[in-house]
Amino acid sequence: MKAKEILVDSTPLPSAETPLNNQIEWRVLDGLAPYLDTVAAMEARVAAIANGTAGEAIWLLEHPPLYTAGTSAQAADLVEPDRFPVHASGRGGQYTYHGPGQRVVYVMLDLNKRGRDVRKFVSALENWVIGTLDSFNVKGERREGRVGVWVTRVRLGPNGQPAEDKIAAVGVKLRKWISFHGISINVEPDLSHFTGIVPCGISDHGVTSLVDLGLPVTLTDVDIALRENFAKAFGETT
């Protein structure tokens, strides 16, 4: 797939209502999307999908530097509360960071049509990330008891075993069986920004990115890989 096939939307935010069809609407939002406005637009789109006036959508975007607190966030995990804006989020999980160089993917899919199975849906999101990373010859893995997708490093961790770093986060919410929020993949963010929190409540592992792994990957490269790997993960055509 060529980069020009990924729609770039220069408007501030997409409209909530889009004509219904059998295709997922993919949008790349230009610039740094303001968090609260974007979440409001996403929730409006979810409501429109639920009432039948809009189709499914996937938004690919970047946020300015900020921290979000999921429904399981612990106050002690916000190490530097004054460093960046902090937003409460209705998604599952704990604290996470969003910022430039990180591809945030908001996934608005209708599980009424895809099967009302939360575990299967989260597994599909993880498979989507793993498949996308595999496009760059990066082996992403799940870890029991830890959310997100991880990569094993050549250095040793504090336990003497090969270190593991988190490269992608997963956090979703369902409303009337319509999904929102979604995933984030570290492409080339400032990794020092993660030190203001304990990412996802896990303090004994690190954070990495595709560029940190030595790969000259851009956000556009990741967008193309996400589009190409979607069907395999979700059993759908795009």
Q: Residue ranges for the binding site?
A: 91-98, 169-171, 182-184
Closest CA to 225 of 152, 178, 143, 168: 168
Please state, in angstroms and rounded to a whole number, the distance separating the CA atoms of residues 231 and 238: 7
The DSSP-derived string for 156-210 is: E-TTSSEEEEEEEEEEEEEETTEEEEEEEEESS--GGGGGGB-GGG--SSEE--T
**Other Cβ atoms within 10 Å of 221 Cβ, number:** 18
- Which pair of structure tokens corresponds to residue 70? 């999921």
Please state, in angstroms and rounded to a whole number, the distance separating the CA atoms of residues 66 and 87: 8
User: Which positions are catalytic?
Assistant: 200
Closest CA to 147 of 227, 70, 39, 32: 70
Annotated binding site for substrate: 91-98, 169-171, 182-184
